[in-house]
Structure 1
Amino acid sequence: MKLIVKYRLYYLILFLFTILLGLGSRRYGSYLPAFVADYAGDTLWAAMVYWGISVLFPKKEFFRKGFIALSFSYCIEISQLYQADWINAIRGTTLGALVLGHGFLWSDILCYTVGVGLAILIDFTLFINKEYI
């Protein structure tokens, strides 16, 4: 198996696992400590974005992928300041709420920063010997 395909597979597994953890944190939040229940979903959402970027661009440097993931996450959060009826209708669906969120919160910006930072740390730790171009 080519190295690039192997890394894409690893990143895809991390992407899917992070989605499961994030959905689990929302569904079973009542069983988690309040702090974890409140912030795990947003933190994991940003980590999932990082893994998604990594699936698409497995050879990019850790911090470049992190910058792209944070930029995307921040843009989604800032877009929540826009409250037109048509986009709120999309946000009213399950998928729309998961992707676009509902309202701007500074705590979400912090969660995204932590989530991407943790993903970079995991990426660096697991794939420290990764061969870049």
Structure 2
Amino acid sequence: MLKNNRFSYFILIVSVIILGIVSRTIDGVPSFLGDTLYAVMVYFGIRLFFINNSFIKTMILALVFCFCIEFLQLYRAEWILAIRRTTLGHYALGQGFLWSDLGFYILGITIAYLIDSILVKRK
């Protein structure tokens, strides 16, 4: 069991990032895995900074954040396109809006919630 502390969430975030990077190097791994892992990382990031939030509040905040990033992809101003052309900008902001990504964000946040509620002992 992990303790409900910031270090535990930091380790989970780093693990998810490593898993996401590794998944990009393996042929045959579906691309939607990246969107799912992104949502998992966002959930744990919110837990890291707002550790006393309830699970439900964390889920809602993570979902709102992910949905905002996805809908922001509809905004096509040159300055934000330039940011998206960088590696970090591409990973953080994505490239193009897809309705299916919203479902993968829900899936990722649900997975993170389950991990959180099962593995992380609450005080």
TM-score bracket relative to the smaller structure: over 0.9
Structure 1 residue matching 2:75: 3-state secondary structure: coil
How far is the alpha carbon of 1:23 from its aligned partner?
1.6
Query: How far apart, CA to CA, are the structure 2 residues paired with 1:24 and 1:74?
Result: 25
Aligned position for 1:42: 35
Query: How far apart, CA to CA, are the structure 2 residues paired with 1:87 and 1:80?
Result: 9
Q: TM-score, normalised by structure 2?
A: 0.93
Aligned position for 2:18: 20
Query: 96, 107, 130: which one pairs with 2:122?
Result: 130
5+ residue gaps, structure 2, are none
Aligned length: 121
- Whether 1:62 aligns to 2:64 is no
How far is the alpha carbon of 1:74 from its aligned partner?
0.3
Query: 6, 9, 17: which one pairs with 2:7?
Result: 9
Aligned position for 2:93: 100
Query: How far apart, CA to CA, are the structure 2 residues paired with 1:114 and 1:104?
Result: 17
How far is the alpha carbon of 1:107 from its aligned partner?
1.1
How far is the alpha carbon of 1:93 from its aligned partner?
0.4
Q: TM-score, normalised by structure 1?
A: 0.86
CA RMSD after TM alignment: 1.3
Identical columns (%): 45
- Whose radius of gyration is greater, 1 or 2? 1
Structure 1 residue matching 2:109: 3-state secondary structure: helix
Structure 1 residue matching 2:5: 3-state secondary structure: helix
Query: How far apart, CA to CA, are the structure 1 residues paired with 2:95 and 2:107?
Result: 20
